[in-house]
Amino acid sequence: NMTLRKKVLLIFLVAFVIFCSLITAEIILSSKLSQNRIFKAVLTGQTSTWRKVREATYERMLFYAYDAKPGKPSVWRLRGRRSPVQAVLSGNPKKVKRAILPLYKNLAKDAILDMLWVFDSADQPLFISSEYNTEENTKNSKENNSLVSKSILEVVTKTRESKLAQKQFVTSNGVIYATITFPIFANARVAGTVVYGRKINPLIKDLAINTKSEVFVFHSKDGFIFGTKPKLSRLAENRFGSDDYALLESGDNVFLANSLKFPLRSETVQLVFMLDMSNEYKKQRLYYLVTLALVILVAIVLTTVTNILLKRGFTPLDRAIDVLNALSTGDTSVDIEIKGNDEVSRIASTVSSFRKSLIEREKVRSLFGKYIPESIAEQMLKEDGALKPQTTEATIFFVDLAGFTAMSERLNPQEIVEVLNDYFSEIVSIIEGHNGVITQFQGDAVLAIFNVPIEDDFHALNAIDTAREIIDVVAKNEFCGHQLSCRIGITTGDVVAGNVGAKDRLNYTVHGDIVNLAARLEQLNKEFSTKVLIAASTVERVNNVKFDEIGNISVRGKEEQVIVYTLSS
């Protein structure tokens, strides 16, 4: 027979294989982390490329703001009656148009710019020209207001005030432009402001070529603006507003999606890069599938072998587990047939012995429970039957049937026992439901205690709730066809609780002045026509409960008078 030591050795072998699997998982995780670093590096390269494309566009427009071509000054440096500067000073849109329109056409033809704005020294538009319908779009300043956005006016004002050229992205009629804004001078004073604008679309196309990606432009207010591959725009739109990278699938293709944001006034423009990673992703997935298949194959083989070996050796242990599971549900009928003498068999033997002792203990506790409260029986079993007397605060609860003597004269002994058993079953359930412990049955009376032997911070309140519920249940129900009535006395104070009696015959009970007082209060219910009388010592320990004060009364056996209460109706 294989000993437990050898079996454990085999388990360690399996654990070693699992350890190897964990190392493989660690390698895969490290690969993932490396992949993350690569993705971040890709984003860094895309960001750098975007900066270069943007600056190249700015530099080209800035060059043609001051030079027509190498060695030849721009028209904005010319002076004379027909110069563009003189036309701007005149404030006549038609003159401005004649002077500037040829310049715009040449710059637009050479793909230097797509839009040109000219403003006077008061920031009023004199000329606005675009690559579409130039003649129609060149009108007076009031008609051109729709083509001048707030973002353009802000940068024009900033340029005029600073007298320095400005590089900035602006929006106009839903189109994003990269702009160069520069002042023009006459006699050392600002005569006006010129804005060269290049649509973001060609910049994005250059960016896509240089990064080998598809690029999409989103505006925080207007949404999708432009994309180099329209059929992927919906996929890219899922990344709108997100800063993290992600792998997105479209059919058989897998794309690495990165985001880059830049401000535009109070709004934001987001560039979404989608780099085709299909080939790399397929290779990686194949690698993972092969690795997973090998791990599964090894796991199946090891599991099969281990299961065959351990099933034979650990059958007694499995049976012991079945016994313990049955015992946990209270079923003691399941036992173990023990074979062998190894460690597992000895464990099974111990479980079998435990089952037998538990059956014996349960028999004793069940027998105790029929004659003494279960909580006291459990405590006696723990302390080997010796419950030492203890002085503690408790609430005493005494309940007695009213008129039972007269009723007993009408019934035979068998009927009396049936009525009492039916009645006691009901009130015992109520008392124990409120953490009370019954110590004595005295004919038709019951003596119960609260806070002993089970500690209860709300023992006074629980006793009062018990009284209320018993009065209600007795009033609403019949017991073996007879309507009963009961009286209750409740007191709180110090008592001595424990086993009392002869050496071989003990009884768990409580002693103290308040025990007698509770019995006297129960009797005094007849005098005050009440059903429950409660001593002030109990009432003082209860909050948020209404009582009716009976008064300061004399009680037989007590030198001092006692203030008593009853439950408010």
- The yes-or-no verdict on residue 4 having pLDDT over 70 is no
- For 50-62, what is the mean pLDDT? 92
Please give the average per-residue pLDDT across 343-356, as a whole number: 70
Would you give the distance in Å from CA 530 to the centre of its chain?
55
Rounded (5°) CA angle 519-520-521: 90
- Under the banding of pLDDT at 50, 70 and 90, the label for residue 22 is confident
Check pLDDT > 60 for residue 75: yes
Whether residues 355 and 333 share a domain: the answer is: yes
**Is the pTM of the predicted complex or chain greater than 0.85?**
no
Mean pLDDT of 513-533: 93
**Is 148 inside a domain boundary?**
no
Q: Is the same domain home to 339 and 414?
A: no
pLDDT tens sequence across 314-324: 666 666 677 67
- Residues 58, 181 contacting (CB under 8 angstroms): no
Per-residue model confidence (pLDDT) at position 486: 94
> pLDDT value at position 399?
96
Q: Which of 110, 147, 109 is nearest to 129 (CA)?
A: 147
Range in 32-41, 83-92, 172-181, 340-349 with the lowest mean pLDDT: 340-349
Residues 334 and 309 in one domain: no
pLDDT for 523 equals: 92
Residue 493 is assigned to a structural domain of this protein: yes
Q: What pLDDT, on the 0 to 100 scale, is given for residue 253? A: 87
pLDDT recorded at residue 522: 94
Of 22 and 158, the one with more pLDDT: 158
Task: Identify the CATH number of the domain in which residue 246 sits.
Answer: 3.30.450.20
Instruction: Tell me: do 454 and 439 sit in the same domain.
Output: yes
Q: Which helix (H) or strand (E) holds 441?
A: strand 436-442
**CATH number, domain with residue 457:** 3.30.70.1230
Locate 183 and state its tokens: 């002042």
**Domain annotation covers residue 227:** yes
pLDDT level of residue 31 (50, 70, 90 thresholds): confident
For residue 181, name the pLDDT band (cuts at 50, 70, 90).
very high
Please give the torsion angle defined by the CA atoms of residues 324, 326, 332 and 335, in that order, rounded to the nearest 10 degrees: -60
Question: Long-range pairs for 81-88 at CB < 8 Å and ≥24 separation?
Answer: 84/118, 84/184, 85/184, 85/185, 85/186, 85/191, 85/192, 86/186, 88/118, 88/120, 88/126, 88/184, 88/191, 88/192
Range of the domain at 231: 212-276
pLDDT digits (tens, 9 = 90+) for 454-498: 889 999 999 999 999 999 999 999 999 999 999 999 999 999 988
- Residue 458 located in a structural domain: yes
Min mean pLDDT across 3-12, 290-299, 511-520, 550-559 is at 3-12
80, part of any domain: no
- The tokens of 112 are what? 């230097």
- What does the pLDDT average to over 201-208? 92
- Between residues 237 and 9, the one the model is more confident about: 237
pLDDT in tens, 229-274: 988 888 888 888 888 888 888 888 888 888 888 888 888 999 999 8
